[in-house]
């Protein structure tokens, strides 16, 4: 499968004026964030899928199923090209292939080779390799031509990128006119009472489970903190519309723990 070599950390010259961004609750230089994110996923790649089940008590499966339901890939067998960005170990891609007709082809694009390596092995084991390819690439600078996909999906990925607006502009660029954008991401809890419970669980249980299973509590603390820094449902919907996507709508799942955002290139 084709894979484009990517720099894992930017090499731009630094100066004192360099913009700052957040890495979880830490403020870091913009040029440092992607490298720090890459370290997190390189460390957890081998146990990433098991940890998803443990940390969400299996709920991530229902959220991903809801995403693919809303995508509603065609069952007719017509050609249907999907780009799953930050696709990691391939969960969304395999679900799309299973739900779609024979014409579905999913490109999994991720910046992290360790995550993609797990994905490639899972594709072979699950018999999905005829319909999936794995490509190294940055969501902010996708290695694909304009107007080349019928759908762009991204699950639990966009909060990790340094410049969300650049990733959204790239989503718009690679979609064909009539193409669909669909994002699954942690969001803002909008159910009274659930927020306090969710905070307690996230900040204590998740890093503790992460430390027990992977030996690295810090990586999981980053995951929790990055969730809290991500824009809420309404603000993220406006960012998607600002990128040029139309008919933007969203659905909260599990009281807003996660949200699906949909848009169209028209
Ligand atoms: C939480 S995982 C999600 C994986 C998969 N989509 C899922 O739902 O199971 C986040 C993924 O985003 C990837 N990622 C982080 N920054 C990225 C970037 N700038 N471009 C592409 N992928 C990125 C990470 O390498 C990691 O595989």
DSSP 8-state code for residue 201: I
Cβ(119) to ligand 1 under 6 A? Answer: no
- pTM for this entry: 0.91
Cα 140 to Cα 134: distance, rounded to the nearest angstrom: 17
pLDDT given for residue 85 in this prediction: 98
What is the average pLDDT score of the chain? 90
Cβ(140) to ligand 1 under 6 A? Answer: yes
Cα 242 to Cα 222: distance, rounded to the nearest angstrom: 28
pLDDT given for residue 102 in this prediction: 94
Q: Helices 217-229 & 206-214, crossing angle to 10 degrees?
A: 150
pLDDT given for residue 88 in this prediction: 96
Render pLDDT for 114-139 as a digit per residue (tens, 0 to 9).
Answer: 999 999 999 999 999 999 999 999 99
Cβ(49) to ligand 1 under 6 A? Answer: no
Cβ(73) to ligand 1 under 6 A? Answer: no
76-80, 83-87, 226-230: least confident range? 226-230
Render pLDDT for 208-221 as a digit per residue (tens, 0 to 9).
Answer: 888 888 777 787 78
Cβ(258) to ligand 1 under 6 A? Answer: no
Q: How far is the CA of 224 from the centre of ligand 1 (A)?
A: 15
Residue 10 scores a pLDDT above 60: no
Mutate to test the pocket of ligand 1, among 40, 157, 161 (most ligand atoms within 8 A of CB): 157
Q: Are 64 and 52 spatial neighbours (Cβ–Cβ below 8 Å)?
A: no
Cβ(219) to ligand 1 under 6 A? Answer: no
> pLDDT band at 17, cuts 50/70/90?
low
The residue count of the chain comes to 266
Cβ(156) to ligand 1 under 6 A? Answer: yes
Average pLDDT for residues 46-51, to the nearest whole number?
86
Cα 90 to Cα 110: distance, rounded to the nearest angstrom: 10
Task: Report the DSSP beta bridge partners of residue 182.
Answer: 153, 262
Task: Report the DSSP beta bridge partners of residue 16.
Answer: none
Residue 48 scores a pLDDT above 90: no
What is the percent of the chain where pLDDT is above 90?
63
Q: How far is the CA of 88 from the centre of ligand 1 (A)?
A: 5
Average pLDDT for residues 180-186, to the nearest whole number?
97
Average pLDDT for residues 248-256, to the nearest whole number?
97
Average pLDDT for residues 189-203, to the nearest whole number?
87
Q: In terms of pLDDT, which residue wins out, 142 or 221?
A: 142
Average pLDDT for residues 139-164, to the nearest whole number?
97
Task: From the CA of 115, give the closest atom in ligand 1.
Answer: 27
Residue 3 scores a pLDDT above 50: no
Cα 142 to Cα 4: distance, rounded to the nearest angstrom: 10
Sequence-distant (6+) residues with CB within 8 A of 164 are: 158, 231, 239
Cβ(154) to ligand 1 under 6 A? Answer: no
């Amino acid at each position: 499968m084709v894979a484009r070599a990517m720099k894992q950390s930017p090499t731009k010259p630094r100066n004192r004026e360099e913009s700052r961004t957040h890495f979880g609750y830490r403020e870091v230089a913009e040029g440092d964030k992607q490298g720090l994110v890459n370290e997190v996923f390189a460390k957890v790649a081998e146990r990433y899928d098991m940890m998803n089940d443990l940390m969400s008590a299996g709920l991530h499966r229902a959220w991903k199923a809801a995403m693919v339901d809303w995508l509603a890939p065609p069952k007719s067998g017509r050609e249907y090209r999907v780009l799953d960005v930050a696709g990691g170990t391939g969960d969304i891609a395999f679900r799309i292939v299973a739900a779609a007709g024979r014409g579905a082809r999913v490109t999994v694009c991720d910046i992290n080779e360790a995550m993609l390596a797990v994905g490639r092995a899972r594709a072979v084991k699950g018999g999905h390799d005829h319909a999936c390819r794995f490509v190294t690439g940055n969501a902010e600078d996708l290695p694909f031509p304009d107007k080349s996909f019928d759908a762009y999906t991204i699950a639990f990925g966009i909060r990790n990128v340094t410049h969300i607006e650049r990733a959204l502009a790239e989503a718009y660029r690679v979609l064909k006119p009539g193409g669909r954008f669909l994002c699954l991401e942690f969001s803002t809890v909008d159910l009274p009472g659930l927020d306090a419970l969710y905070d307690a669980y996230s900040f204590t249980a998740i890093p503790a489970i992460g430390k027990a299973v992977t030996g690295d509590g810090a990586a999981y603390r980053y995951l929790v903190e990055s969730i809290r820094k991500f824009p809420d449902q309404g603000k993220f919907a406006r960012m998607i519309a600002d990128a040029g996507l139309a008919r933007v709508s969203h659905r909260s799942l599990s009281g807003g723990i996660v949200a699906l955002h949909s848009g169209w290139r028209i």
